[in-house]
Chains A and B, each alone.
Chain A
Amino acid sequence: MRFFRNYSRSPAAVVGLLLLLVVIGMAATADWFFPQDPLNLAGRPLQWPGANPRFWFGTDNSGRDIAAQIFHGARISLLIGLVATSIAVTVGIVIGAIAGFYGGWVDDVLMRVTEAFQTLPNFLLLLVFVSIFGSELLTVVVAIGAVSWPAPARLTRAEFLSLRSREFVEACRTLGMRDRQIIFREILPNALPPVIVYASVVMAVAILLESALAFLRLSDPNVASWGNLIGLGRDVLRTQWYVSAIPGVAILLTVLAVSLVGQGLNDALNPRLKGR
């Protein structure tokens, strides 16, 4: 309970949470508001928002309902964000924990691999994955996760490196605890908070990465993703710019919400640092 009170001290964090709830709400009620497939033709193409009361945000070049695509797109974005982030954070935590705890050559090898992933521009690596393995949604999500794990790994490793030499860890060793127990039951609960907070950054980046891929027509064309819509709108940018503008605002607000919530979590978990 005290955690919620800490969290609500920052107005920005509260705004972020509300925004996020709105997006989740959109995703949850998409079927209720727009039961048809959002990629079906719904009306005359390129109607402006507000011109036709049936289409809140107008229609796109192919005559599909933009509002439907926005609502269903929320599902896709949140799904991608959550799954890719889970993959990245899980892989990152395991690798970072092992590297940070054992040090020595294990750490060297794992860090060289991490460095390899970080030297490559991750969007380029994403392009390579997509060109080899295809553009289905699942592939894209796994690829984004595979590209995003180095940062959580580095963070986890840093936490483990600093916690490993703390006296309570030495105490566990003198008590005769096995390594496995020390890593997962003693150190990890202390190392997790900053990594969990960082997961919000990973999620924000994952959503942006997928939308960039979709914009370039390299993501799954069979889902109503916001990026897809922006790409579509590029063809009619000069006149019907709203086709690109509206989904962009949606992405902006979602990523903003995720970032604000992440920052709010960080401040709530470290109240001493906030009082600057």
Chain B
Amino acid sequence: MRVLALAGRRLAASLPSLLIILVGMFLLLQLAPGDTVDALIAQMGGGGDAAVVAELRAFYGLDISVAAQLGNYLWRLVRLDLGFSAIYGKPVSTVIMERLPATLLLMSASLSFAFFFGLLFGVIAARRVNRWPDTVISTLGLVFYATPSFWFGLMAIVLFSVHLQWLPAGGMESIGAGLTGFARLADIASHFVLPTLTLGLIFLAIYLRIMRASMLEVLTLDFVRTARAKGLDETRIITRHVLRNAMLPMVTLIGLQAGTMLGGSVVVESVFSLPGLGRLAYEAVVQRDLNTLLGIVFISALLVILVNFLVDLVYAQLDPRIAKGDG
């Protein structure tokens, strides 16, 4: 319970940042050349008489003062009313909800993949530090980190879809195949293999490096020496003493990288034509649908805050010093 209250307080403490984001976004919007009505008019083919334009402005609430608009905007956001998308002809929240599952699926899969293998290889590299397994793992890690994700995705498509034909080249599932139940799940899964690998690879590299450094750091700490003096063998020292301590920075990192991962999904979803939030953001930019773009920004910020909240909970479970409060 205490842990929940603590994380809850941290959550509340992130509200000012959220506010800054929203106000900042709003102010940025004011700097945009043209507004929603201009975009609408442009879509309709341009030129409309002044009266219609004024009416439209009034309808969208764009004729009142900036401060009043800001107030309206914040009030609407609190009620999760994200406005209307002129391009899709639907409320923004509806559009976002349609696209959310794909992104969530992609992010969870990538995160799990990156965390698990990053942990595993980081531990292996640390145990065999400066010998060949470490060199190989660390070098591969660096190479993965330096690889542009979209390029890796494209090359993966070339290899696995075009030449080997093992995996599909894009989309979320085989449309029109009429699959149900388990077969459908398997189909979706096969569509997600390459995107997960692509998005996860960079974070795998990051987690690997952090885990390795963290393990090496913890191995120099005093309590490891105490454990050796008690007669523990190396394996048990790693599993019972080092691992849990070394994992702490990794857990924190998940929270810190949540935003970057969401950003990365824009590119990956575009490469693999996945119907997710990222690609929606790209389409919104191209079609100048700023309402939708801002809606996505808002939802993304919420997602990141939520992930950080969950991370805080997990961290407090792992580290008893936190639950007690700052010592």
Contacts and interface: CB of A to CB of B under 8 A. Distances in A.
Nearest to A113: B20
Nearest to A114: B17
B151 A121 contact: no
A51 interface: no
A126 B18 CA distance: 18
Contacts of B286: 218
Interface string B24-50: 110011011100000000000000000
A164 B86 CA distance: 53
Nearest to A147: B263
Given A127-B282, A208-B148, A212-B267, A276 B290 contact: no
B14 A215 contact: no
A216 interface: yes
Given A119-B259, A123-B267, A252-B147, A131 B301 contact: no
A171 interface: no
Interface in A75-114: 112-113
B23 to A, nearest CB: 9
B145 A259 contact: yes
Contact of B162 (A129, A212, A238): A238
B17 A112 contact: yes
Contacts of A126: 263
A1 interface: no
Contacts of A247: 151
A244 B150 CA distance: 10
A80 to B, nearest CB: 14
The interface size bin for chain B is: 35 or more
B146 A252 contact: yes
A130 B150 contact: no
A276 B129 contact: yes
A215 B16 contact: no
Contacts of A175: none
B148 A211 contact: yes
Interface string B201-227: 000000000000000100000000000
A70 to B, nearest CB: 14
A175 to B, nearest CB: 32
A204 B148 CA distance: 10
Contact of B266 (A127, A211, A255): A127
Interface string B271-301: 0000000000110111010100110110011
Contact of B151 (A127, A132, A244): A244
A17 interface: no
A124 B297 contact: yes
6 contacts: A116-B17, A127-B293, A129-B28, A216-B270, A237-B162, A252-B143
Interface of B: 14, 16-18, 20-21, 24-25, 28-29, 31-33, 129-130, 139, 142-143, 145-152, 154-155, 157-158, 162, 216, 256, 259-264, 266-267, 270, 281-282, 284-286, 288, 290, 293-294, 296-297, 300-301, 304-305
